[in-house]
Amino acid sequence: MNNYKGISADDKHRIVNALKARGAGSCPRCRDSQWTVSEYSMIEVQATMDRHSAKTTTIPSIMIVCEHCGFISQHALQPLGIWPENTVDLGNRKSDSAKVATA
């Protein structure tokens, strides 16, 4: 059974404040200004353009949903100062991941 209760009210407040401080505004699709902080997500990206590459990394992010049209906007947590670690995993799916420091 999954005990996930969603993003805490404190985290939602921190995310909203970080977005406002950086000038986040209305929805790019419908121009409505009502957003909901939805869920954390990890965007998996390849380390190279080689489609057969097994090296991947992830970008910790937050999904924000427009309450009017449902447009989903994803924001990386590290530039917002939300993600607690200053590292990302860069590894091979067939072996252990290595930690790489980010700038």
pLDDT(56) > 80:
yes
Which pLDDT band, with edges at 50, 70 and 90, does 46 fall under?
confident
What is the per-residue pLDDT for 48? Answer: 80
Q: Amino acid identity of 5?
A: K
The whole-number average pLDDT for the span 85-91 is 47
Beta strand residue intervals within 1-103, DSSP E:
35-46, 55-66, 72-76, 87-92, 97-101
Which pLDDT band, with edges at 50, 70 and 90, does 93 fall under?
very low
Domain spans of the chain, in order of start: 9-101
User: Who wins on pLDDT, 90 or 32?
Assistant: 32
pLDDT(50) > 60:
yes
**Tokens 């965007």 sit on residue:** 43
User: How far, CA to CA in Å, does 11 sit from each of 16, 42, 88, 98?
Assistant: 9, 17, 21, 28
pLDDT(99) > 50:
no
